[in-house]
Copies of this chain bind each other. A is one copy, B any other.
Amino acid sequence: MTVPSVPEPAAAAPAAVFPAAAGLLARVREERPMVHCLTNPAALTLSANVLLAVGAEPSLSADPETVRDFVAGTSALVVNLGMLDPAREAAILAATEAAPELGRPWLLDPVKVELSPSRRKFARRLLARRPALVRGNAAEIACFAEGGDPRTLACAAGTVVARTGPSDLVTDGARTAEIANGSPLMAAVTAVGCAASALAGAFLAIEPDSWTAAVAALLVMGVAGELAAARARGPGSFAVELLDALYRLDERDLLERGRVR
């Protein structure tokens, strides 16, 4: 028996997902939404470059005094709790207060809440402010979801939850999609998960249905990751190829490679 290096597309994929994702990607490239990312220092560069690779524009200022100006001047907000410190905490509170007033959707990425009780407490406070989307890995989502089931968090918090890993699951409690793309090399480069959150911010900026936006963003990221892995010799070249793949990705790639059910 041979293991194919490129998995075959799932037979049972919901046919509507691929053209929807391709349509949203085309709109990101055309409308070039600005996305404000309050993210950790190790994720700044890759998050900005992932946004630029799909045609969106990053904005990164994290000063509590002026962050409202930047939320006002951009179309979506991404809040990442990695390497949290008091100044970014204050900026996050100011920004997530401003975002609903200004009609901006926002996303919460609760990085490593499983390692720090105080960060977990802060994340709960943010969940009560109703992000449009929560994206995390299994350990992070399990901190807030009974039995580790993202659906319980989605229902309890009234948000869409995206749990990423070997396969990604996106749910609003009622609708659930599983995306089985990506590559193990994505876990061998720092901040790829954070950058997936930034990318989801670009899709939230143009698509009011957060579930559809999240499915499209993770499908784009997963297929780009697979294309990148096929050309990479290791994590160094993978990171380079990932940006090139996001930049070059087209509808046909999504149709041929996407595995959604």
Residues of chain A at the chain B interface (Cβ within 8 Å): 40-42, 44-46, 48-49, 52-53, 58-63, 65-66, 69-70, 73, 82-87, 112, 115-119, 187-191, 232-237, 239-248
With beta carbons under 8 angstroms apart, the residue of B42, B44, B52, B118 that contacts A60 is: B42
Nearest to A241 among chain B residues (CB) is B236
Nearest to A242 among chain B residues (CB) is B236
Task: Collect the chain B residues with CB atoms within 8 Å of residue A82's CB.
Answer: 60-61
Shortest beta-carbon distance, A196 to chain B, in Å? 16
Asked if A52 contacts B190 (CB within 8 A), the reply is yes
Asked if B66 contacts A118 (CB within 8 A), the reply is yes
20 other A-B residue contacts (CB within 8 Å) besides A49-B235, A59-B115, A235-B244: A41-B44, A45-B190, A45-B191, A49-B189, A49-B190, A49-B239, A52-B189, A53-B235, A60-B82, A62-B83, A65-B118, A66-B116, A69-B115, A73-B115, A85-B87, A233-B244, A234-B248, A236-B240, A237-B243, A237-B244
Nearest to A55 among chain B residues (CB) is B188
Tell me whether A237 and B240 are in contact in the complex, defined as CB-CB below 8 angstroms, given that A119-B66, A190-B45 are known contacts: yes
Tell me whether A62 and B45 are in contact in the complex, defined as CB-CB below 8 angstroms, given that A70-B116, A188-B247, A235-B243 are known contacts: no
Asked if A63 contacts B86 (CB within 8 A), the reply is yes
Oligomeric state, in number of copies? 3
User: Shortest 10 CB-CB distances between A and B: which pairs?
Assistant: A236-B243, A234-B244, A48-B190, A234-B247, A236-B240, A42-B44, A236-B244, A63-B85, A233-B244, A69-B116
Task: Collect the chain B residues with CB atoms within 8 Å of residue A242's CB.
Answer: 236
Asked if B48 contacts A42 (CB within 8 A), the reply is yes
Task: Collect the chain B residues with CB atoms within 8 Å of residue A62's CB.
Answer: 83, 85
Q: Which of A41, A85, A236, A245 has the most CB of B within 10 A?
A: A236
**Complex formed: what's the CA distance from A53 to B112 in Å?**
20
Shortest beta-carbon distance, A116 to chain B, in Å? 5
